[in-house]
Chain A
Amino acid sequence: DVKVTQSSRYLVKRTGEKVFLECVQDMDHENMFWYRQDPGLGLRLIYFSYDVKMKEKGDIPEGYSVSREKKERFSLILESASTNQTSMYLCASSFGQDWYSNQPQHFGDGTRLSIL
């Protein structure tokens, strides 16, 4: 089975802090994604990556950056955390050279991040 592991289930940080969310997958997937999920807004794509050192902006990249130095690891960085970034963050991965190939996305358990 595919395993997507997010480093923290719950995280509390203060405004202005630099926050790192880590995601690791064990299936040698090319594609990795970061979403945030908010009540009433659903899941929205922040960033995705289809190869090592490659990244693409999603729908809501402002205030975030990402890093993918190794194929199995995709990190989401909140440069200067703000209260409106309090949310559930979900990482996903999928197989395929072409990131829109017909392979399902597999999700981690999520990180519930609170910014105080």
Chain B
Amino acid sequence: KQEVTQIPAALSVPEGENLVLNCSFTDSAIYNLQWFRQDPGKGLTSLLLIQSSQREQTSGRLNASLDKSSGRSTLYIAASQPGDSATYLCAVNQAGTALIFGKGTTLSVSS
């Protein structure tokens, strides 16, 4: 059964720092991996989707990478800002099921 793990569960950084969030999954047979952002009490906002044939995707200050063979993905956030404070979730799309989510990394960026 696919399991998705995100480490660390929480992260605090000063404004301006570059940071990396990690996501690992146990079964490499995935169609894609998606990164989301969730603000407190709100729904999920899709940030990036990486197809299984891709190595990375970029959107603004965000860069997500995918290494299917090792079962890992990273989300790189450049020049972090207080407005980046949120919970970041990764999820894999595996044939036969809907998205399987990790439990998230809660990021706090201090000014």
Contacts and interface: CB of A to CB of B under 8 A. Distances in A.
A18 to B, nearest CB: 25
A88 to B, nearest CB: 8
Interface stretch (A61-69, A70-78, A79-87, A97-105): A97-105
Given A105-B46, A107-B44, A109-B42, A42 B101 contact: yes
Interface residues of A, number: 25
B43 A45 contact: no
B6 to A, nearest CB: 9
A23 to B, nearest CB: 11
Interface of A: 4, 6, 33, 40-43, 45, 48, 58, 90, 92, 99-110, 112
Interface of B: 31-32, 34, 36, 41-46, 49, 51, 89, 91, 93-99, 101-104
